[in-house]
Amino acid sequence: MKQNEIGVVTGLAWTPVGGEVLFIEATIMKGKGGLSLTGQLGDVMKESVHAALSYIRTRAVELHLSEDFYSNMDIHVHVPAGAIPKDGPSAGVTMATALVSALTKTPVKKDVAMTGEITLRGKVLPIGGLKEKILAAIRLGIVTIIIPEQNRKDIEDVPRHILKKVKIVYASTIDDVLKVALEKYPPTPPGTVKNMPPKTKAHTTRVLVSSRKGIVAGAKV
């Protein structure tokens, strides 16, 4: 990604020939609670999307969403490279981040990538293929990689000269992920005016302007 975007997250995957980068997209439209999943996703990956959405629905208040937000919108999750089948649970945190970003209209940082399975309680579970995934992220120019806390011990298998190129963040919960991946978390409540200057007391400066006929007072600056 060239810039921070809403609903677009960089995920990491393992393949028999090495690590790969997945860009997961989520978008929101007016609707009646529909959920579309495209990009040749396998059953396990589809289940990750449902788990992520269920977790978000339990956190609606904290995310400044209405409790029934899901009933008046349609959600579409897509993973590009649609000709290639994709499956596995390790995209769970990526799916959750894309959904939270789209629902709260909060951009995702372009230089952050992630991997991790999630539970309905928002826990982040360990994954496999860590070394290959880190190498794939470095090839893309990623500077921060979020991995499950339970994979901390597996970092020992990654050469030190490789780890010097990135910052590794360990996550135990999806909140840990969102705090690093999103531009702002918790998100700003809707209707909040951003970047307003602090209120100051209004005042009028009185200036004396000279003229040939005398002094004129009261000009406002």
Q: Which residues are catalytic?
A: 90, 133
- Burial of residue 97, with CB atoms counted within 10 A of its CB: 0-12 exposed, 13-18 middle, 19 or more buried: buried
Residue 15 C-alpha from the chain's centroid: 24
The residues that bridge with 78 in the sheet, in sequence order, are: 25, 38
Gap between the Cα atoms of 99 and 116, Å rounded: 15
**Torsion of the alpha carbons at 154, 47, 106 and 81, rounded to the nearest 10:** 80
> Taking the mean position of all CA atoms in its chain, how far away is CA 61?
18
Name all contacts of 187-196 with Cβ < 8 Å and 24+ positions apart. Answer: 187/63, 187/64, 187/100, 187/104, 187/105, 187/106, 188/64, 188/106, 189/64, 190/64
168/198 Cα distance (integer angstroms): 37
